[in-house]
Chain A
Amino acid sequence: AQTVTQSQPEMSVQEAETVTLSCTYDTSENNYYLFWYKQPPSRQMILVIRQEAYKQQNATENRFSVNFQKAAKSFSLKISDSQLGDTAMYFCAFRVEYGNKLVFGAGTILRVKS
């Protein structure tokens, strides 16, 4: 069974600074997909970024980038130039190659302070 671990329950960052959220996972699969979702106070889950395991190049989406270390089974999220609107719960999620079952971590609450 796959598991996803987010070891930081809460984090804070000053506006305009950079923050990194950690995620590790456990799987015996070779091909899989990884995602970061954010859930603001509205509770709407929003896709932040996604990564295919067979791609060595780290995914980037504007201010968001990942550091994907397949051998270490690590998938951290870096948020640059943090904005107040980035305040949310961030979930790391794993999916095997086929099917649509997402396995989520426990989440990290990120607070961006002005």
Chain B
Amino acid sequence: KAGVTQTPRYLIKTRGQQVTLSCSPISGHRSVSWYQQTPGQGLQFLFEYFSETQRNKGNFPGRFSGRQFSNSRSEMNVSTLELGDSALYLCASSLALADTLDTQYFGPGTRLTVL
């Protein structure tokens, strides 16, 4: 079974631009979560999507948004990029079955550099 895939793997943008990152979950997985990893703040939860609805949200400004499609693929958008948005963005998927030890499996990440 194919793992979680993320595109693109690397991105370079300038301040003020916007960017869209894509995540394709493992087949059959219905939940997709996004995380930001930086040297200073570590790994921080952005949001989770399940059945095309945002189910959980972290403490990030409204410039960070996401969506999920009917095939469970998810996109994350960051508008008005700032230098501090430079990070590795990780996507994780899970089955999201009730009453189970639901485990998240991570993609390889998208490295975003804001100049």
Contact = CB atoms under 8 A, between A and B. Distances in A.
A14 B22 CA distance: 40
Interface residues of B, number: 25
A44 B55 CA distance: 25
Contact of A44 (B48, B104, B108): B108
Interface string B39-57: 0001111001010000110
Q: Is the contact region of chain B dominated by helix, strand, or loop, or is it mixed?
A: strand
B72 to A, nearest CB: 13
Given A99-B55, A100-B33, A102-B35, A47 B101 contact: no
B78 interface: no
A100 B50 CA distance: 10
Contacts, number: 55
B101 to A, nearest CB: 6
Interface of A: 33, 35, 37, 42-47, 50, 52, 91, 99-107
15 contacts: A33-B101, A35-B103, A37-B106, A43-B108, A43-B109, A45-B92, A46-B106, A47-B105, A52-B101, A100-B33, A100-B56, A100-B92, A100-B96, A104-B44, A106-B42
Given A100-B33, A101-B33, 12 more contacts: A42-B108, A43-B108, A43-B109, A45-B90, A47-B104, A50-B101, A99-B56, A101-B45, A102-B35, A102-B43, A104-B42, A104-B44
